[in-house]
Structure 1
Amino acid sequence: MSSDLWPGGYEKIVLGTIDSTNAEAARQAPHLGRPTWIMARHQTKARGRRGRAWANPPGNFAATLVMRPGGVPGWAALRSFLASNALFETLALYVPRERLSCKWPNDVLLDNCKVAGILLESAGTGTRVEWLAIGIGVNLVHTPPAEEDAAFAPICVKDVSGEDVDAEEFLTVLAGHYATEEMVLERLGFETIRQDWLKRAARLGEEITAQIGNKRVTGIFDTVDEHGRLVLITGTGPVKIPAADVYF
């Protein structure tokens, strides 16, 4: 794929084997002048949300966008939705889009199985975010073993497309879609991003369960609000949830 498709204003670093792209992002963040995608061909210590291991066999996609979004942590955290939208559109070039959906807060599903995940990490002082790392893992050509307690079975793009997808080509497409999402956020605000995400949301209008620590909340998935919180309609009224694991 032509390098001419790489979005302006973004840098790219492609590495061989490292511990994790998010860890590398944290090491490099203080020295980077522009938003930078860091991609690794293989990770030895890949991780997902809440410190869970993320299987990343060679050939699958692992990259982190490290940037300085400015503002408070809540503003930076909205990038999860930008990344989800960009990831959805990128995957839709390789598999039928009607078989894809976005699962709150940060997964993309293919045939109701997990094909991709997003991990946001940040650092800052006081209430200001100094840098943000948006880690993205995608099962491109290998389906990792299912974890015992996993809410969703894994799947890979090749299972559906029958074709190998080159990780660096995937990065170029993803970076372009993400740059567009940032422009939408800057010019039109989060509401447009939110509405686009809701069109792709898995189980919108249906009953789901959110696990918050040791507490479970079950209700109708009504929407995601202007702060990115999951809104469930329960027997006692609406409940707004800032972070949780979601089960169908």
Structure 2
Amino acid sequence: MKSSPSFSVVTIDDLRGPAGRLEALLNPGVPDAPYAVLLCHPHPLGGGTMHNKVVYHAMKAFQSLGLPVLRFNFRGTGLSEGTHDYGQGEQDDARAALDWLERRYGLPILFAGFSFGSYVGSRACCGDARVKGAVLLGAPAHAEGRDYDFGFLSTCTIPKLFISGTRDQYGPVDTIQSVVAHAAPPSELVLVEGADHFFVGRLDEVQHAIIGWTRSHFLDAALP
């Protein structure tokens, strides 16, 4: 890519899922970007939205590389229509966002999600030929009475980056290591020493990991 990254943000009014309009924001990226990015937010019942700090910093990491980034609120969150569907309908919301990105850019897509968003989004994206890589931030094992089974990743052969804190209260290190070990290769795990589930005070390390992984797996090969 030769153009400089664009740091503007645009409100999207035409993203609709099965439950209705989905509130969304787009960082447009550079004209010659080789990939587009979809970002999914943490659990709405815990206050998660597309404005979550981890999601925002992940967006900034991809934006710094000149990639267009789409964030949206799941059904029933913020101004999005519909009601929360406990991770089922939210997968359809993510698929609707993939469709929107395809219509807008016609580019291969990278997925990133935080916590609940990492689970719901990766379920929707793995197996979709349009999605070429996935970043799972703070992948949860058990959170607020909810269990998450990432066994489906055993057949997900796109490059995957897991970023977790060593003090993640919802994803103990040994559990996340097991998830990564049982996921189809290529899969990488970055452990942020001392970080909790929300990476408080360590978001710069999260951004660094995303940028390095994205460059090495996707952008370096796209350079002339």
Asked whether the two chains share a fold, i.e. TM above 0.5, the reply is no
* Bigger Rg over Cα: 1
- Give the TM-score taking structure 2 as reference length: 0.29
Which structure features the higher share of strand residues?
1
